[in-house]
């Protein structure tokens, strides 16, 4: 399950740090969070999709690694990001 190009562009524009930013940790975490949210809805309708669940777990792990990196390198940016996205870290 992926998100549409317009939704992805909106997520990028809402979380970027400068005008041409598409790959900062903030943007990557926001995109992953959007994809994870879409997959959660998918699993409510398809509870036996175990292959898709494996992909979800990989995405959650990647998001966690990016958040750990951001917390280690710049604590203020990390705090702003989890507050903005409503994550429970």
Q: Domain of 12: which CATH number?
A: 1.10.287.10
- Give the model confidence (pLDDT) of 23-67 as tens digits: 999 999 999 999 999 998 899 999 999 999 999 999 999 999 999
Query: Cα(40)–Cα(10) distance, rounded to whole angstroms?
Result: 20
Residue 1 pLDDT exceeds 80 = no
Tokens 């549409």 belong to 4
pTM of the model: 0.91
Judged by DSSP in three states, 69 sits in helix
Q: How far apart are the first and last CA of the chain?
A: 25
Q: For residues 28 and 5, is the Cβ–Cβ distance under 8 A?
A: no
In the chain, the number of structural domains is 1
Under the banding of pLDDT at 50, 70 and 90, the label for residue 20 is very high
Q: Which domain holds residue 18?
A: 5-85
Count of other CB atoms within 10 angstroms of residue 13: 12
Q: For the ranges 3-7, 10-14, 85-89, which has the lowest average pLDDT?
A: 85-89
Tokens 């970027």 belong to 16
Residues in the chain, overall count: 89
């Amino acid at each position: 399950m992926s998100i549409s190009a317009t939704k992805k562009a909106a997520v990028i524009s809402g979380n970027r740090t400068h005008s041409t930013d598409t790959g900062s940790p903030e943007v990557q975490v926001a995109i992953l969070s959007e994809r994870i949210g879409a997959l959660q809805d998918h699993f409510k309708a398809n509870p036996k999709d175990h292959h898709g669940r494996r992909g979800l777990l990989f995405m959650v792990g990647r998001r966690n690694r990016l958040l750990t990196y951001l917390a280690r390198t710049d604590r203020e940016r990390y705090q702003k990001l989890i507050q903005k996205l409503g994550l429970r870290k």
